[in-house]
């Protein structure tokens, strides 16, 4: 990824979805900020910043599955909590799928006007 200038880095840090507010916060023109937001390396820097800020607060799928497993196996937990954890773990692994069978005939009619094709 390209190195960001100090001006670009300031914009990336200030950007929170509003180009005009970010431009004003760092003292750059709105037109220049609009150009910046179209640059792939700027967009990548904003996404990277967001993922680094948010990541520590969000459990990954693996984290959730480990948590549910720990609760389900912990005999100190209430049985309802253990059962709920086991259910959520099973759902995350698609253990419970609905099977729908259909028997019968489906009839449909299509109509069109040949004059519309012209």
Instruction: Determine the Cα–Cα distance for residues 45 and 8; give it in Å rounded to an integer.
Output: 10
- Computed from CA positions of residues 20, 25, 28, 32, in that sequence, does the dihedral angle turn out positive or negative? negative
Structural domain span for residue 25? 6-57
Q: Is residue 100 part of a domain?
A: no
49 and 69 inside one domain: no
Number of C-beta neighbours around residue 84 at 10 A: 15
Q: Is residue 111 part of a domain?
A: no
The tens place of each residue's pLDDT in the chain, 118 residues long, gives 578 899 999 999 999 888 999 999 999 999 999 999 999 999 999 988 887 776 667 777 888 899 999 999 999 999 999 999 999 988 888 787 777 787 888 888 877 776 655 5
pLDDT at 106: 81
45 and 75 inside one domain: no
Q: Is residue 78 part of a domain?
A: yes
Contact 86, 71 (CB under 8 A): no
pLDDT at 79: 96
45 and 15 inside one domain: yes
Count of structural domains within the chain: 2
18 and 34 inside one domain: yes
């Amino acid at each position: 990824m390209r190195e960001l200038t100090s001006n670009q880095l300031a914009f990336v840090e200030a950007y929170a979805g509003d180009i005009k507010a970010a431009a004003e916060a760092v003292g750059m023109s709105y037109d220049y900020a609009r150009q910046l937001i179209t640059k792939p390396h700027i967009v990548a820097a904003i996404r990277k910043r967001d993922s680094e800020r948010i990541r520590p607060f969000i459990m990954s799928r693996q984290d959730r599955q480990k948590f549910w497993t720990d609760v389900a196996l912990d005999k100190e937990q209430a049985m309802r909590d253990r059962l709920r954890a086991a259910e959520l773990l099973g759902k995350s692994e698609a253990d419970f799928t609905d099977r729908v069978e259909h028997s019968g005939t489906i009839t449909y009619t299509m109509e069109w006007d040949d004059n519309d094709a012209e």
